Amino acid sequence: MTTFAPKIKLSNGQEMPSIGLGTWRSRESDAELAVKDAIDLGYRHVDTAFVYENEDEVGRAINAKISEGIIKREDIFVVTKLGGIHHEPHLVEHACRKSLSSLGLDYIDLYLMHFPVGQIHKGDGNVHGTLELSDVDYLDTWRAMENLVDLGLVRGIGLSNFNSHQTERVLQQCRIRPLVNQVECHPGFNQKKLIDYSRQHGIVITAYCPLARPKPDQQWPPFLYDDTAKNLAQKYGKTTAQLCLRYLLQLGTIPIPKSVSKSRIAENFDIFGFELSEEDMKIVDGYHTGQRLVPFSAMSHHKYFPFNVEF
């Protein structure tokens, strides 16, 4: 019998499954197969983005599973993101409709602004943009995203890679509140201050790179490969990856581990039958270094660059 992840209620009443499949760098047939495998294994939350260039494949997989009768549309929580090249308010609805068309869906469950810094639009084909950054205020972009909710194109909207000051600015000015902030989060960079701040404002943190992009040949990161982690995982009869994802769940985040291997996708999902003790949570806290893996340093000179403040 298929088990499903518990759901977390968002501030607008939507329910979001507490683990999702990340698809960054999952390309073409890999992405399609990974999403199909994940749905078969019980995942009901899939995360993609315009800049991942795989919305077509993700959509094909979801629609195939709907056609097979494995899921109904309302069973699956689909997240995608507004790319940097579409920050100008007049481009936001166009970008959203483009994502809907690629996904083959009538609505998106959660639509995120991928980064607070926009890029100059030189046509949709230029997916990653250039590093010609625009000075569009993310508040103006946000207001255009609010209209997508009014139009029924998306159920909810949120942020990604925003710091607490930027989030506060959105909260002060918004008509529709952000539900989620998707940020890098793993034991090496545990985001506890941002999680606490967000919780106080009814915003859920989604954890991307939750396993910190492991490098088995280098036995890195330590929280997947060192003896402390291995012994702790053994104590619970779990793998170090499962231990890490469980830690993130207990911090109150929604992890979205990415994999294209069916056995890994299954392993990452099997994190609900146990709980880390307070002492063991503190041991995993000890891996926090404050070091980002995804620094977006090419944008660090921009006035809206988010990572020049503590959290």
Active site residues per annotation: 52
In 10 A of CB 12, how many CB atoms? 13
HEC profile of the chain: CCCCCCEEECCCCCEEECCCEECCCCCHHHHHHHHHHHHHHCCCEEECCHHHCCHHHHHHHHHHHHHCCCCCHHHCEEEEEECHHHCCHHHHHHHHHHHHHHHCCCCEEEEEECCCCCECCCCCCCCCCCCCECCCCHHHHHHHHHHHHHCCCEEEEEEECCCHHHHHHHHHHCCCCCCEEEEECECCECCHHHHHHHHHCCCEEEEECCCCCCEHHHCECHHHHCHHHHHHHHHHCCCHHHHHHHHHHHHCCEECCECCCHHHHHHHHCCCCCCCCHHHHHHHHCCCCCCCCCCCHHHCCCCCCHHHCCC
For 52, 156, 166, 168, the CA distances from 173, given in Å and listed in that order, are 30, 17, 11, 9
How do 15-17 and 7-9 pair as beta strands? antiparallel
**Among residues 98, 86, 182, which one has the least CA distance to residue 134?**
86
